[in-house]
Every structure is written in structure tokens, then in C-alpha cells.
Amino acid sequence: MRIYMQIPAVDDKPPRYYQLVLQPDLLGGWTVIREWGNQGSSGRMKKEFFDSQEKALAAIEAARDAQMERGYRVVFMEGMRPGG
């Protein structure tokens, strides 16, 4: 699953992005990768590990909702639906 969000450019500031990626790991767990920064420059990244898909999905949805409250809008979304 991948969710790409963005805040539009304001004045002379470039747009900001926030990306969430959910992927299975090799040991049966799940990883949520968060990446954020200014469009066109290197950003920051954080990885979180979860023992179940349900917990990882809850974390990615909470992160998405928190960023939307900060003004980000979903630009692109792909991948699995909850429960599969």
C-alpha cells in the first residue's frame, strides 16, 4: 500500500510531501515507512515494524489522518484494502 500526500506551494516555498508505504517483511511482520520533506529535495524517513497487518494498517491510517489535519491532501493512493 502506498499513500502520497502533498501541501501545495505557497509563495516562494516548494510544495511539501508526505508518503506512507506499507509492506510485508521477510519474517511475517509488516513495515510502515514514512517519508517527508520539500518536493525536489531529499527528505527524511522513518520505519516502524509491526507484528500484524491489522496493527500496521491502523498505524498508516492514523498517520494519514494526522497529516490531513495538518493540511496535506492525498494525491495518489494504491495498494491493498484493509483485510487483504
CATH fold of 2-78: q64v53_bacfr protein fold (2.20.140)
The model scores a pTM over 0.95: no
A 10 A CB-CB count for 58 gives 14
Mean pLDDT of 5-19: 92
pLDDT digits (tens, 9 = 90+) for 21-70: 999 999 999 999 999 999 888 899 999 999 999 999 999 999 999 999 99
* pLDDT at position 82 over 60: no
Strands (E), 1-84: 2-7, 16-24, 30-38, 44-50, 73-78
Domain ranges in the chain are 2-78
- Report pLDDT for 22: 96
- Report pLDDT for 45: 97
